[in-house]
Amino acid sequence: MSTVHVVLPGGIDDPAAPSGGNVYDRRVCDGLAASGWTVHEHPVPGAWPAPGPADLARLAGLLAALPDDTVVLLDGLVTVGAPDVIAACTPRLRPVVLAHMLFGDDDPGLRPGEALVLRAAAAVVTTSRWCRERAIEAYALPPARVHAAPPGVDPALLAPGSPAGTRLLCVAALAPHKGHHLLLDALDTLTGLPWSCTFVGSPDRDPAYAARLREHAVADRITFAGVRTGAGLAAAYGVADLLVLPSRGESYGMVVTEALARGIPVLACDVQGLPEALGAAPDGSLPGLLVAPDSAALAGALRRWLTQPDLRDRLRAAARARRAHLTGWTRTADEVGAVLSRVAKPGPLAR
């Protein structure tokens, strides 16, 4: 039986602060345990990726207490904020970094530390093929040490959809990079067309931005539903006709496959890993629309969706066909486990 120590951001299981990264970490830890790994979880409190001195000291003490040659799976949100701590421990440990995204792409100040950590790791696991290629390119990483393990998705009941397709859903924390303002600007142009849109997501990530969105929104057409998980989130998907994700960047986009698992088409921006998450039906047809990350492109796509019944029928058929070929979380955990098994093999590590 193999053993892995997993270093996680604090609050991984906090229902008030759901995130794709937390869900991924939880499902991988549970999947590894189910497949026979002994998993020791170490949630590390802190304002990652901008920790304070006490946070860094706590992380350093945790890693220093691990025996030599321990296999350690480290969430990239923690490692990018503590490159010196990680680098000091990597020579005697067998670290694998789980990169949900590349922080250096958004904040150039984090690039040197991220490069140090990823280059020192025994292996890197990314949450999409797009992120794998980007990591190799950005940090000149050896391709053999970088592995993609895309998120899985749970099976779900088919959403029936309404004939007119007017019920729009956006699932994302209310933060500028998620592009809610672009969607609201697009919706403002759809005068004379029936539609409603529900925004599901925490307003706490950027309260000032969330307040501006509420001021801008058309009161009788927009609902800000706040955080929803479990049955509440499933209910929101169950009555949706179209998922709209106007993010300016996503390494993958788990809400895309959550919608497709219910046969709901997706309108998303054609950026980073979102095309990978959308995928295609077996016949090659797209189960949604990919557009440029701007309000005009979103408005044009929404107008087409709302006014063209044949388009709605085609996209729904493709989404239902794609639904049948989505993969579950067991595969994700197995892919991560395969990387850990290679790193755990006795002998010197090639870094």
Does 288 share its domain with 314?
Answer: yes
Does 140 share its domain with 206?
Answer: no
Query: How much is the pLDDT for 220?
Result: 83
- Identify the domain containing residue 209 by its residue range: 167-323
Does 179 share its domain with 303?
Answer: yes
Does 213 share its domain with 101?
Answer: no
Domain presence at residue 202? yes
Blockwise average pLDDT, block size 10, the chain, 351 residues: 91 81 95 97 93 95 96 97 93 96 93 96 97 98 98 97 97 95 95 95 93 83 94 97 96 97 98 98 97 97 98 98 97 98 84 59
Question: How far is residue 3's CA from residue 261's CA, in Å, rounded to a whole number?
Answer: 33
Mapped onto helix, strand or coil, the DSSP state of residue 53 is: helix
Domain presence at residue 157? no
Please name the residue that has the structure tokens 């969430």.
Answer: 75
Does 85 share its domain with 210?
Answer: no
Domain presence at residue 292? yes
Say how many C-beta atoms besides its own lie within 10 A of residue 203's C-beta. 18
Does 299 share its domain with 183?
Answer: yes
Domain presence at residue 349? no
45-103 pLDDT, tens digit per residue, is 988 999 999 999 999 999 999 999 999 999 999 999 999 999 998 889 999 999 999 99
Does 131 share its domain with 191?
Answer: no
Q: Minimal CA–CA distance to 305: which of 275, 253, 266?
A: 266
Helices 329-344 and 20-34 pack at an angle, to 10 degrees, of 70
Does 244 share its domain with 339?
Answer: no
Domain presence at residue 160? no
242-279 pLDDT, tens digit per residue, is 999 999 999 999 999 999 999 999 999 999 999 999 99
Domain presence at residue 237? yes
Query: How much is the pLDDT for 272?
Result: 96
CATH code for the domain in which residue 30 is found:
3.40.50.2000
Tally of domains in the chain: 2
Domain presence at residue 9? yes
Does 176 share its domain with 311?
Answer: yes
Question: How far is residue 170's CA from residue 135's CA, in Å, rounded to a whole number?
Answer: 28
Does 76 share its domain with 218?
Answer: no
Query: How much is the pLDDT for 160?
Result: 95
Domain presence at residue 350? no
Does 131 share its domain with 267?
Answer: no
Does 181 share its domain with 42?
Answer: no
Query: How much is the pLDDT for 1?
Result: 54
